[in-house]
């Protein structure tokens, strides 16, 4: 497999993020601050020569990815359902309009403001952790297989992935827990993935990777959203 550097970016801020609302697979859009954040992360990555680009097919991730690849006009953006945030399984008794065109994905937690009580009451309605982990790892393995088919080149292939905080956290921790990912010295996995944070994984052509950056927001001028309520314990 050709060596690669995978840049994994969380989408920009939405009004739901700002309000502490658990979005899951609600199709929310970036707010004005989220659009500004997307421009900042795009500037930070503009000199990376991307060979491939993927994003969740939810609007907040798509828009963030589109802003980033404006500097990479030859790269085709691939929208992937498997990169979506954790799904909430049971239908809710009411609909909360958050610019959603996929309201069928709403469940007992989607659209609710995060509280410990809500988590306790509705914890059995979320996508089960093994299923969520499996979805993330299945996509990761498919990416590695796709990279294996690419011709060798002097420099590693650069891959852009734009997804969601819970998905990124789950992928990284699952890979690390299964010993398919080592963590570079000085990199901490203790913090969450804030809006437009950058996580970087290097692969050397094998099935294992090395975590070089995790949840890095050093490119932001303004403070990113302080927490992500979609990252469940």
pTM: 0.82
| Per-residue confidence band for 231, with pLDDT thresholds at 50, 70 and 90 | low
Q: What is the DSSP string of 125-194?
A: GBPPHHHHHHHHHHHHHHHHHHHHTSPP-SSPEEEEEEE-HHHHHHHHHHHHHTTSEEE-TT---SS---
pLDDT 10s digits, 169-227: 999 999 999 999 999 999 999 888 999 999 999 998 778 999 999 999 999 864 544 44
**Is pLDDT larger for residue 226 or for residue 84?**
84
Laid out side by side, the sheet with 52-56 consists of 77-80, 52-56, 157-163, 4-10, 198-203, 209-216, 181-183
Position 156 confidence tier, pLDDT thresholds 50, 70, 90: very high
What residue ranges do the domains of the chain occupy?
A: 4-85+128-216
Give the residue among 200, 195, 162 at the shortest CA–CA distance from 77: 162
Judged against a pLDDT cut of 80, whether residue 233 lies above it is answered with no
Question: Per mean pLDDT, which range of 31-35, 83-87, 173-177, 178-182 is the poorest?
Answer: 83-87
In DSSP terms, 9 is beta-bridged to 162, 198
Partners of residue 7 on adjacent β-strands: 160, 200
pLDDT of residue 115: 47
Residue 164 predicted with pLDDT over 70? yes
Q: What is the average per-residue pLDDT within 14-40?
A: 88
Name the percent of the chain lying above pLDDT 70: 77
Query: Is 4-85+128-216 a domain of CATH 3.30.1360.30?
Result: no
- What span, in angstroms and rounded, lies between the C-alpha atoms of 69 and 113? 32
């Amino acid at each position: 497999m050709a060596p690669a550097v995978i840049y994994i970016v969380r989408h920009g801020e939405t009004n739901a993020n700002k309000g502490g609302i658990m979005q899951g697979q609600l199709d929310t859009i970036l707010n004005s601050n989220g659009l500004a954040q997307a421009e900042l992360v795009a500037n930070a990555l503009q000199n990376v020569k991307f060979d491939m680009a993927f994003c969740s097919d939810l609007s907040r991730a798509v828009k963030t990815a589109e802003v980033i690849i404006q500097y990479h006009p030859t790269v085709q953006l691939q929208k992937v359902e498997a990169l979506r945030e954790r799904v909430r399984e049971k239908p809710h008794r009411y609909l909360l309009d958050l610019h959603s065109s996929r309201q069928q994905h709403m469940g007992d937690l989607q659209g609710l403001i995060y509280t410990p009580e809500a988590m306790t009451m509705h914890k059995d309605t979320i996508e089960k952790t093994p299923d969520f982990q499996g979805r993330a790892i299945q996509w990761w393995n498919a990416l590695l297989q796709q990279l294996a088919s690419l011709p060798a080149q002097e420099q590693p292939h650069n891959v852009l992935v734009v997804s969601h905080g819970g998905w990124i956290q789950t992928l990284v921790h699952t890979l690390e827990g299964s010993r398919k990912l080592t963590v570079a010295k000085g990199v901490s996995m203790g913090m969450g993935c804030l809006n437009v944070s950058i996580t970087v994984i290097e692969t050397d052509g094998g099935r294992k990777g090395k975590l070089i950056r995790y949840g890095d927001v050093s490119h932001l001028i303004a403070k990113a959203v302080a927490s992500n309520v979609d990252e469940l314990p």
